[in-house]
Amino acid sequence: METIIEYFNQIPSSHRSALLVGGLTFFSLLETGIPKYKSDYNRWKHAGINLFFTLTTILVNFILAFLLLEGSAWAVNNHFGILQWLPNMPIWLYMITGLLLLDLIGAYLVHWAEHKVKWMWRFHLIHHTDQQVDTTSANRHHPGESVFRFVFTAGGAILAGADWWIIMMYQSLSVILSQLNHANIRLPEWLDKGLAWIIVTPGMHRVHHHYMLPYTDANYGNIFAIWDRLFGTFMWLPHEKIRFGIDTHMEVQEHNHLPTLLKIPFMKYRHPTGSKFEN
């Protein structure tokens, strides 16, 4: 266990980059071999747009990384946060508790807020405009969203009182699981539904990318499926009924045109069918 802690305390940037690139490559190959949905869309153009947003996300995370590092150090040194207030426990239990807390505070709750707070949703809906969800969609986030999401993530890490090695372990797992649950791969239904009791699976997350409410406002989980089931936001929809996208931006020039995607948060707001927003 000490070896694992030491590794994630000092995980090289090259290893994190390898996780990102290796995961994209691996799941892209699976999508070619065992796709869930077969389509004749321009896969390279689609990937190009999503990889642009991946690069902007990486840039934002790199610039703001000090917030996460300093926040973790402050919390641990000042014995602040849930993990710091809990009684001593075996290191393996401490690790699992930390991963669950980071997933709840820094991922699930932030994602839930993005769907409930109008100004956050205006940025987050760029992720939902994708009508060909695949593994490259995992980091399709507007740069504005990347900024405020990172700030919320850092705040979540402080509230959790998480050590740096737990944060790095969580982020490494998050990269792979996000690529998995967005991947256009065909899993046996029994396996997908079985795993969806523990982790967020492709079948579970596809429901979240259905183009209309109430499914858009379901299955917010990032790694662990427990939070959606616990808070009543879990939903299931047969894959043949799922249509990707968001009902307010279904035109090609709005979901497959980079300059427009960058401008959408600042354009006149459109109400989704069954919108939760008054204005």
pLDDT of residue 274: 57
Which segments in the chain show pLDDT lower than 70?
274-279
Q: Can you read off the two tokens belonging to residue 142?
A: 């507007």
Residue 65: which of 13, 8, 140, 133 has the closest Cα?
Answer: 13
Side-chain-side CA neighbours of 224 within 13 Å: the count stands at 20
DSSP-assigned letter for residue 268: P
> Domain spans of the chain?
42-266
pLDDT of residue 276: 46
Q: Can you read off the two tokens belonging to residue 144?
A: 């504005």
Residue 189: which of 199, 204, 174 has the closest Cα?
Answer: 204
Global pTM exceeds 0.85 = yes
Task: Convert the pLDDT of each residue in 243-272 to its tens digit.
Answer: 999 999 988 878 888 999 999 999 988 877
How far apart (Å, rounded) are the C-alpha atoms in residues 177 and 261?
Answer: 25
pLDDT of residue 252: 81
pLDDT of residue 270: 83
- Which residue type, as a one-letter code, is found at position 173? L
pLDDT of residue 45: 85
How far apart (Å, rounded) are the C-alpha atoms in residues 18 and 20?
Answer: 5
Q: Can you read off the two tokens belonging to residue 109?
A: 């709750």
pLDDT of residue 277: 42
For the four alpha carbons of 235, 240, 245 and 248, in that order, the dihedral sign comes to negative
